[in-house]
């Protein structure tokens, strides 16, 4: 819990990036400085008690010099609709950075980053940090169609392969059709996306003996491990236990998660 | 002059009337980086059981209009962990601690009470007679005056600590349950626990919660909670910790005026981790503005002078 901030972030803009999807840029310098890839923030949706709870969002990017934090928001209900409609200059109460982020390699490893749909959000931030560390990054990005693809900015050392379920961009099919392109020189993988996708990715990578981390999503209330509302089943030292996704995750070693 | 904020509930003395509600503030440590824990009247920790409990299968949460459902199922690391780690953490920081206990039988509740009886740092014990999310214990004995009294009596015999009984409003006659537990040795009542509820996922055509039912909390239940405090205070004039959807100082004062001597802040922490702190400040400002010298002067005041 050390280093968690509660700040009024100022909305810089809310840009529609796909049907029902918005990129929210916020001015929150302390959060931008402190956030690590895989961590998230919890945002209040307004000033009333309805909707009541904060909404959790992965940090999709930071600009530490400009003091900005970028979030990717899918409008799924009233809370996210309020955030998507936030006007520039409006203040949003932000709690974060929260949770345990991705473990970054010390230096220039060859890694693969696998994301489906909104699962690309934390990975966009991760890819930038990996490249800054001199890693060679292969991104496998999946979405239902071209309009929903959230891709990292082109950069040297970063190669992006795409799959869409309707075949409108890249290989047709789920992102898992790209898994055969993971070459033997890859040292580790990072994944985020729908649970079924993560389960398939983890199973395939386990077969290859490739270690990796997955970023999970769950409904949350407190965001700090107090309410025990967002648990997932994990295997630790031969025992199965519930871990709080907010505080012990959202990033877990892939081998720890019980997928069944 | 600053108004007097100290309150006394039977033998329990608090430096101010704002405490945390069990289950919404973990063991305090989760919020230690964000909140000054020492400011609060007391921290009520998550309900403890004899053995560690894994809790219910997820999903455990659902948001509802101005409220939320939870079905945690009393997940907690157990009383031994609490005595070895949870309690010392709070005690070292000078935080007054109320331990909440939950058992499946009166004997289990009594065993918990005797384990905690002499623990340094505890100012009171709260027996959770009303958790809606467990099959045995909880509401099963919180709903029936005789069963609630039996558990209270067993706990009373096992501890010398000030004893709080936490009741549900999901009963035919809350005054009857309140009277029974007071006669059995409870000194203070916590009113109210979450109310049983459920939500259905229309797209999946299944219950939202893994446990099907959950406990409803938040502003949605506040009128029910205020009513319960009013009824029990009117009938029994006993010390009450009022809770249920308190988000602001004015919400807290509603409970005080209905008869609560202290208030517990719960779900509000999920919206604002500093809610209890801010509510305490707000109560003080209200007293100053209204020229009230002592918060105790407002307890039950909405009943009119004849009830005081």
Give pLDDT tens digits for A21-33.
999 999 999 999 9
Domain range summary for chain A, segments of one domain joined by +: 5-98, 110-214
Please list every residue in chain B whose beta carbon sits closer than 8 Å to the beta carbon of residue A44: 271
Per-residue confidence (pLDDT) for residue B207, from 0 to 100 = 97
Please list every residue in chain A whose beta carbon sits closer than 8 Å to the beta carbon of residue B270: 52-54, 221-223, 227
Distance, CA of A135 to CA of A96 (rounded, Å): 27
Strand partners of residue A59: A71
pLDDT tens digits, one per residue of A156-175: 999 999 999 999 999 999 99
- Of residues A151 and A47, which shows the higher confidence score? A151
Please list every residue in chain B whose beta carbon sits closer than 8 Å to the beta carbon of residue A2: 33
Q: B244 in a domain, yes or no?
A: yes
Cα A257–chain centre separation: 17
Q: B235 in a domain, yes or no?
A: yes
Q: Which of A133, A120, A260 is nearest to A190 (CA)?
A: A120
Q: B96 in a domain, yes or no?
A: yes
A106 in reach of chain B (CB within 8 A): no
Residue for token digits 């929210």? A24
Task: Nearest chain A residue to B45 by CA: give it.
Answer: A226
Q: B226 in a domain, yes or no?
A: yes
pLDDT band at A237 (very low <50, low <70, confident <90, very high): confident
A188 in reach of chain B (CB within 8 A): no
Task: Nearest chain B residue to A242 by CA: give it.
Answer: B54
Per-residue confidence (pLDDT) for residue A108, from 0 to 100 = 86
Q: Which of B12, B40, B116, B131 is catalytic?
A: B131
B201 in reach of chain A (CB within 8 A): no
Average pLDDT value for residue range A141-157: 94
Residue B303 belongs to domain spanning: 7-307
Alpha-carbon gap: B266 to the closest alpha carbon of chain A (Å): 10
Angle at the Cα of B20 (from B93 to B239), degrees rounded to 5?
110
Task: Nearest chain B residue to A222 by CA: give it.
Answer: B270
- Could you say which DSSP state residue A182 is in? -
Hey, are the CB atoms on A219 and B219 less than 8 Å from each other? no
CATH of the domain at B253: 3.20.20.70
Length of chain A: 260
A242 in reach of chain B (CB within 8 A): yes
Average pLDDT value for residue range A122-145: 96
Judged against a pLDDT cut of 80, whether residue A149 lies above it is answered with yes
Distance, CA of A109 to CA of A99 (rounded, Å): 25
Please list every residue in chain B whose beta carbon sits closer than 8 Å to the beta carbon of residue A49: 66, 218-219, 247, 271
The three-state secondary structure class of A197 is helix
The three-state secondary structure class of A91 is strand
Considering Cα of B69, then B75, then B80, then B86, what sign does the dihedral take? Answer: negative
Q: Is B131 a catalytic residue?
A: yes
Per-residue confidence (pLDDT) for residue A3, from 0 to 100 = 84
Strand partners of residue A160: A139
- Which residues neighbour B9 within 8 Å (Cβ) at sequence distance 6 or greater? B162, B187, B188, B239, B240, B241, B261, B262
Q: B213 in a domain, yes or no?
A: yes
Q: B131 in a domain, yes or no?
A: yes
Per-residue confidence (pLDDT) for residue A1, from 0 to 100 = 45
Average pLDDT value for residue range A208-227: 96
A219, A229 in Cβ contact below 8 A? yes
Hey, are the CB atoms on B270 and A44 less than 8 Å from each other? no
Q: B2 in a domain, yes or no?
A: no
Considering Cα of B71, then B77, then B83, then B84, what sign does the dihedral take? Answer: negative
Per-residue confidence (pLDDT) for residue B160, from 0 to 100 = 97
Hey, are the CB atoms on A219 and B218 less than 8 Å from each other? no
For the beta carbon of residue A242, count every other beta carbon within 10 angstroms: 22
- Which residues neighbour A170 within 8 Å (Cβ) at sequence distance 6 or greater? A141, A161, A162, A163, A164
Alpha-carbon gap: A153 to the closest alpha carbon of chain B (Å): 35
Hey, are the CB atoms on B55 and A228 less than 8 Å from each other? yes
Global confidence as pTM = 0.95
- Which residues neighbour B267 within 8 Å (Cβ) at sequence distance 6 or greater? A52, A221, B21, B24, B67, B68, B217, B218, B245
Give chain A's radius of gyration (CA, Å).
18
Q: B136 in a domain, yes or no?
A: yes
Helix (H) or strand (E) holding B255: helix B249-258
Q: How many domains does chain B have?
A: 1
CATH topology of domain A5-98: Elongation Factor Tu (Ef-tu); domain 3 (2.40.30)
For the beta carbon of residue B92, count every other beta carbon within 10 angstroms: 9
Per-residue confidence (pLDDT) for residue B137, from 0 to 100 = 59
Pair type for strands B61-64 and B206-207? unpaired
Per-residue confidence (pLDDT) for residue B135, from 0 to 100 = 61
CATH topology of domain A110-214: Rossmann fold (3.40.50)
Task: Nearest chain B residue to A99 by CA: give it.
Answer: B30
- Which residues neighbour A54 within 8 Å (Cβ) at sequence distance 6 or greater? A42, A43, A44, A45, A93, A95, A220, A223, B270, B271
pLDDT tens across the length of chain B (308 residues)? 799 999 999 999 999 999 999 999 999 999 998 999 999 999 999 999 999 999 999 999 999 999 999 999 999 999 999 999 999 999 999 999 999 999 989 999 999 999 999 999 999 999 999 766 666 656 666 678 999 999 999 999 999 999 999 999 999 999 999 999 999 999 999 999 999 999 999 999 999 999 999 999 999 999 999 999 999 999 999 999 999 999 999 999 999 999 999 999 999 999 999 999 999 999 999 999 999 999 999 999 999 975 44
Helix (H) or strand (E) holding B154: helix B145-158
Please list every residue in chain A whose beta carbon sits closer than 8 Å to the beta carbon of residue B269: 222, 226
């Amino acid at each position: 819990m050390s280093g968690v901030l509660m700040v009024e972030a100022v909305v810089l803009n809310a840009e529609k990036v796909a049907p029902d999807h918005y990129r929210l840029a916020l001015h929150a310098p302390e959060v931008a400085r402190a956030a690590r890839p895989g961590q998230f923030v919890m945002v209040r949706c307004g000033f009333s008690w309805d909707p009541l709870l904060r909404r959790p969002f992965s940090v999709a990017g930071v600009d530490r010099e400009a003091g900005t934090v970028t979030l990717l928001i899918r409008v799924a209900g009233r809370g996210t609709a309020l955030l998507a409609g936030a006007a520039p200059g409006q203040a949003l109460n932000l709690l974060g950075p929260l949770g345990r982020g991705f473990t970054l390699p010390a230096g220039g490893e060859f890694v693969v980053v696998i994301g489906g749909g909104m699962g690309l959000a934390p990975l966009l931030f991760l890819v930038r940090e990996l490249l800054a560390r001199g890693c060679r990054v292969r991104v496998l990005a999946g979405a239902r169609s071209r309009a929903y693809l959230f891709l990292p900015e082109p950069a040297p050392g970063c190669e992006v392969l795409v799959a869409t379920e309707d075949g409108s961009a890249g290989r047709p099919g789920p992102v898992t059709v790209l898994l055969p392109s993971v070459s033997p020189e890859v040292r580790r993988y990072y994944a985020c996306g729908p649970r079924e996708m993560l389960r398939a990715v983890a199973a395939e990578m386990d077969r290859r003996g490739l270690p990796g981390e997955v970023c999970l999503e769950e409904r949350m209330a407190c965001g700090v491990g107090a309410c025990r509302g967002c648990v997932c089943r994990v295997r630790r030292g031969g025992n199965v236990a519930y871990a709080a996704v907010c505080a012990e995750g959202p990033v877990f070693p892939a081998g720890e998660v019980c997928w069944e | 002059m600053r108004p007097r904020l100290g309150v006394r509930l039977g033998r329990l003395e608090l430096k101010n009337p704002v405490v945390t509600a069990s289950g919404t503030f973990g063991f305090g440590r989760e919020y230690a980086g964000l909140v000054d824990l020492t400011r609060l009247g007391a921290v009520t920790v998550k309900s403890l059981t004899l053995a560690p409990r894994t809790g219910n299968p997820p999903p455990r949460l659902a948001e509802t209009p101005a409220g939320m459902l939870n079905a945690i199922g009393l997940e907690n690391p157990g009383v031994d962990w609490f005595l070895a780690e949870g309690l010392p953490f709070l005690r070292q920081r000078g935080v007054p601690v109320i331990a909440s206990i939950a058992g499946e039988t009166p004997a289990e509740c009594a065993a918990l009470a005797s384990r905690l009886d002499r623990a340094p740092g505890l100012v009171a014990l709260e027996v959770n007679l009303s958790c809606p999310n467990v099959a045995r214990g909880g509401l099963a004995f919180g709903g029936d005056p005789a069963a609630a009294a039996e558990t209270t009596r067993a706990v009373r015999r096992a501890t010398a600590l000030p004893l709080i009984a936490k009741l549900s409003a999901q009963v035919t006659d809350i005054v009857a349950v309140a009277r029974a537990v007071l006669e059995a040795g409870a000194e203070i009542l916590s009113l109210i626990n979450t109310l049983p509820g459920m939500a259905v996922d229309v797209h999946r055509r299944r219950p939202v919660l893994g446990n099907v039912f959950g406990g409803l909390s938040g502003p949605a239940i506040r009128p029910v909670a205020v009513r319960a405090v009013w009824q029990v205070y009117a009938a029994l004039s006993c010390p009450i910790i009022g809770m249920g959807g308190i988000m602001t100082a004015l919400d807290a004062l509603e409970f005080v005026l209905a008869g609560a001597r202290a208030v517990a802040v719960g779900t509000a922490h999920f919206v604002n981790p500093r809610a209890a702190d801010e509510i305490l400040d707000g109560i003080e400002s209200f007293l100053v503005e209204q020229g009230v010298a002592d918060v105790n002067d407002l307890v039950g005041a909405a009943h009119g002078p004849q009830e005081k």
